[in-house]
Chain A
Amino acid sequence: MSEDFTQIGRALPRKEDRRFLLGKGRYLDDIAAGGALHACFVRAPHAHARLQSIDIAEAAALPGVAGVFTGADLAGWTAPLRLAPPIELLQPTEMTTLPIDKVRFMGDPVAVVLAADRYIAEDAAELVRVDYEDLPAVTTIAEALAERAPRVEEGVEGNLVSHQSFASGDVAARRAEAHRVVEARFSLQRHTHAPLETRGCLADWDEGREHLTVHVGTQAPHPYRSQLAARLGLSESQVTVSSPDIGGGFGQKIALYREELAVAALSRHLGRPVRWREDRIENLSAAAHAREATCRTRASVAEDGRILGLELWMEEDFGAYCFYPANYMARVVAMILTGPYRIRDYAYDVKVALTNKCGSGPMRAPMAMASWVMEGTLDAIAHDLCLDPLQVRRINIVRSADLPWRMATGEVLRDVTPAETLEGAVAALDMPAFRARQADARRGGRFLGLGICTVIESTTYGSDFYKSAGIPGSGHEAAWVRIEPSGAVNASVGLMGSGQGYESPLAQAVAEGLGVEAETVTLRMGHTDIAPYGMGSRGGRGATAGGGTLYLCAQKAQARVLEIAAHWLQVNATETLRLRAGRIERRLSGAWQDAGLGLADIARRAYLDPTALPPGIAPGLDVSLTYDPPPMTYSNATHACEVEVDIATGRVTVGRYLVAEDCGTVLNPIVVKGQQQGAVSMGLSGALFEEVIYDPAGQNLSATFADYLIATACETPEITILPMHTPSRHTPAGMKGMAEGGVMGAIGAIANAVNDALLPLGVKIERLPLSPMAIRAQLRARERDPPE
Chain B
Amino acid sequence: MEPRVPIRLGVNGRQREMAVPARRLLSDALREELHLTGTHVGCEHGVCGACTVLIDGTPARACLTFAVQVEGREVTTVEALAEGGDLHPLQRALGEEHGLQCGFCTPGILMTFAAYLRDHPDPTEDEVRDVLSGNLCRCTGYQSIVAAVLKAAHALRMKAVG
Contacts and interface: CB of A to CB of B under 8 A. Distances in A.
Interface of A: 13-14, 16-27, 29-30, 32, 63-64, 118-119, 194-198, 245-248, 250, 279-280, 498-501, 670-671, 673-674, 677-678, 680-682, 704-706, 710, 712-714, 716-719
Contacts of A248: 101-102, 104, 138-139
A780 B2 CA distance: 57
A682 B140 CA distance: 9
A540 to B, nearest CB: 16
Interface string B94-109: 1110101111111100
Contact of A196 (B36, B39, B78, B104): B104
B100 A17 contact: yes
Given A23-B79, A196-B104, A705-B43, A718 B143 contact: yes
Contacts of B44: 279-280
B82 A247 contact: no
A501 B102 CA distance: 7
A16 B94 CA distance: 12
A704 B42 CA distance: 11
Given A196-B102, A248-B138, A713-B132, A22 B38 contact: yes
B95 A21 contact: yes
Interface in B127-162: 128-130, 132-146
Contacts of B77: 23
Given A674-B98, A712-B133, A29 B47 contact: no
B105 A196 contact: yes
A682 B2 CA distance: 43
B24 to A, nearest CB: 7
A274 to B, nearest CB: 16
Contacts of A196: 40, 42, 48, 50, 102, 104-105, 136-138
B101 A674 contact: yes
A197 B104 contact: yes
B139 to A, nearest CB: 5
Given A13-B95, A706-B45, A247 B40 contact: yes
Contacts of B78: 22-23
B100 A20 contact: yes
Contacts of A499: 101-104, 139
Contact of B141 (A25, A64, A681, A704): A681
B37 interface: yes
A678 B87 contact: no
Contacts of B36: 23
B147 to A, nearest CB: 10
Nearest to A498: B102
12 contacts: A20-B103, A21-B106, A118-B28, A280-B43, A499-B139, A677-B141, A678-B139, A680-B141, A706-B47, A710-B136, A712-B134, A712-B142
A710 B141 CA distance: 11
Contacts, number: 166
A252 to B, nearest CB: 11
Contacts of B110: 21
A26 B40 CA distance: 11
- Interface-central residue, A63, A119, A197, by most chain B CB under 10 Å: A197
Contacts of A32: 35
Given A197-B102, A245-B103, A714-B130, A18 B95 contact: yes
Nearest to A673: B98
A195 B133 contact: no
B79 A716 contact: no
B72 to A, nearest CB: 24
B8 interface: no
Contacts of B50: 196
Contacts of B104: 25, 27, 195-197, 247-248, 499
Contacts of B45: 280, 704-706
A23 B95 contact: no
B4 interface: no
Given A21-B87, A119-B24, A704-B45, A195 B136 contact: no
A669 to B, nearest CB: 10
B150 to A, nearest CB: 12
A245 B101 CA distance: 11
B102 A30 contact: no
Contacts of B135: 712-713
B39 to A, nearest CB: 7
Q: Top 8 nearest A-B pairs by Cβ distance? A: A23-B38, A499-B102, A20-B103, A247-B104, A681-B141, A23-B78, A705-B47, A712-B133
B94 A21 contact: yes
A682 B101 contact: no
B1 A63 contact: yes
B85 to A, nearest CB: 9
A713 B142 contact: yes
B131 to A, nearest CB: 8
A197 B136 contact: no
Contacts of A16: 103
